[in-house]
Structure 1
């Protein structure tokens, strides 16, 4: 007979996050919850092989697998795991994709170019996945690329808790900054939550990947600036924005980025930059050089993702997790000074 509990399965993309979710779920359920016993391996030629060692017939399955670097390998792992579960008669399969790769290719920017985000959405839906749980999609319209339900969580409530904890006593000096015009909505959301003013860094590109000019829109003199964005890849734009803000009179520059892709020279650039701190979530499993970087900090998403999984399993609202008051009890161990009734 199927169990009455959700079952978790993980690929190789972010095992620490999957194990963190399992630990949090054990606390919620009052019983040990582990990852489904399975192997996700590769043949000598690189082909991916999945074998599930437990009975999953009729079970409510949650596959935890961000499609981060190497994106193609992790995406194929997700698809093959979903196919294995579907062929094993799983009751429902939900893909928990904290970082959705290929999201930056969400429209045709030039003639004869693909919309890869739509292609990936089709692949996931056709693999047997019936629902997707993700976080901070690069573009909100990607939810419409799927022909299955999509729950898109936001990191801004977590960032609000972190900002209020680390900037206690100086919240009046904080200003939220959008690194480009396209990210204003995301930055405004955090600014509204912490009751801070908003500024914009307008950037112009001569070619892809290179910023030729930056202009600060708004007065940042004497302010502690917080740059908010969803993805940091090579960190070139981020570090240049920090320089422009400091030159414009900002006293400190911090950055809150949901998905720390941090490829190529990113870590070196951040280490040597004028950024006082870069905060990323653990949606992507970070290598040791990132964890060792003195001005990079990782905040956990396991409490929020665990509650979202339980809400989906229970058939209750996921949008309740957009509210900071809902998340405060979940994050109290990380920010004890912001416990209910003690908020600064």
Structure 2
């Protein structure tokens, strides 16, 4: 029953396609997204007869985005949805993800982002090699550059990002996950930068982000050997923060990611953004410079209304109500 309820929660998060810019619903004031789409294609059904997942071959459904509402307002769930291509990174997917990232950057109501998959057993299989095989050689470089730029933009989002890895994350798929602040996987997920099997190297940040995540020697070993590891091994290596037992619905990592997003949600949003900035900038420099960066970020939270609200709530022994001001 818990698994079914969890799957319903996940699918409810993808009834609105916010990547369609003309119909995008943004979280402003107390508004919420209400437009729903009935998609053609394969449909799975729960024991209660409720549809839990829709697939479509229409390219406009390659990415499905939902700005959650109610108590979860502020959480954005970005779902990869290319079942026939195992969520491989295509030109269209890159375009749609760029649009989504831009929408999120402009929305100061967003407090966290979850990137997950709507396709059972897969997170992202990497680059769409079938599409790439049809490209002229002169097109390959610019496409890889654009994909790299997208993953960089994901990493530069000012709010916490969580990758929910409920299936295979290989090549560019793992690079996408590595750009997120936090990674959560199922125990049976497979992760690896396997590009050496194709006589190429990771081209979207993998050679830089993997060593920063697990250390230089281990990163070299995995990349040189094109080795994939499961969730338990990824946790041991420090590649993921949590590895959870997969459930019958195949969305255990997503549900754990949602729990974490709900922990982040009530915290001071400006403080969280400044903490991310201080960590990301500080980790790349010497300690003295890092401390100066922290001081500058701290200065940004002192004049906020949220800081005064936090002090008042502490004094009055009540839950604070932060507005991001």
TM-score range, shorter chain: 0.3 to 0.5
User: TM-score by structure 1 length?
Assistant: 0.32
- TM-score calculated relative to the size of structure 2: 0.33
The answer to which structure has the higher helix fraction is 2
